[in-house]
């Protein structure tokens, strides 16, 4: 794997980040996150999803606390080079709030609000350290 060739194809923003869209192998979008160069290279090298946390300002391995890891199956880059799509095998829930996908609320036109469309898979208070 030639790191320079890979990184030269990705357009990172002014903060050094690129958007990562994550789908399961059935095509459901399960999360959206950001990656810096290090996260992208670690993901490609290990086959496990790594991200850059903007709030914690650090690299993180998906599942490092919860055990709900993601195994990379396919990687795509968009036409502009500024977004990546990862098709993954998802173990457990992808959402830190305990749901399978981060997109667990669907807009309901009748009442004009977002409503839960999934049940929780785990209690985040029992999984994540404070």
Residue extents of the structural domains in the chain? 3-94
Instruction: Report domain 3-94's class.
Output: alpha beta
Q: What are the distances in angstroms from CA 42 to CA 22, 38, 61, 72?
A: 16, 6, 9, 11
State the pLDDT at residue 67.
93
How would you write the pLDDT of the chain (130 residues) with one tens digit per residue? 788 899 999 999 999 999 999 999 999 999 999 999 999 999 999 999 999 999 999 999 999 999 999 999 999 999 999 999 999 999 999 999 999 999 999 999 999 999 999 999 999 999 887 5
Alpha helices in 9-123 (DSSP H): 37-46
79: left (phi over 0), alpha (psi -120 to 50) or beta: alpha
CA pair distance 96, 32, nearest whole angstrom = 12
State the pLDDT at residue 130.
56
């Amino acid at each position: 794997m030639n790191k320079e060739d890979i990184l030269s194809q990705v357009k990172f923003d002014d903060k050094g980040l690129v958007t990562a869209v994550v789908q399961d192998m059935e095509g459901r979008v399960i999360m959206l996150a950001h990656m810096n160069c290090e996260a992208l290279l670690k993901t490609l090298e290990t086959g496990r999803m790594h991200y850059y946390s903007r709030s914690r300002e650090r690299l993180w391995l998906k599942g490092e606390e919860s055990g709900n890891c993601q195994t990379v199956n396919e990687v795509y880059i968009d036409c502009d080079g500024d977004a990546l799509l990862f098709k993954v095998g998802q173990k457990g829930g992808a959402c830190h709030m305990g749901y399978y996908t981060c997109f667990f609320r669907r807009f309901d036109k009748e009442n004009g609000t977002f409503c839960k469309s999934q049940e929780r898979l785990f209690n985040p208070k029992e999984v994540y350290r404070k």
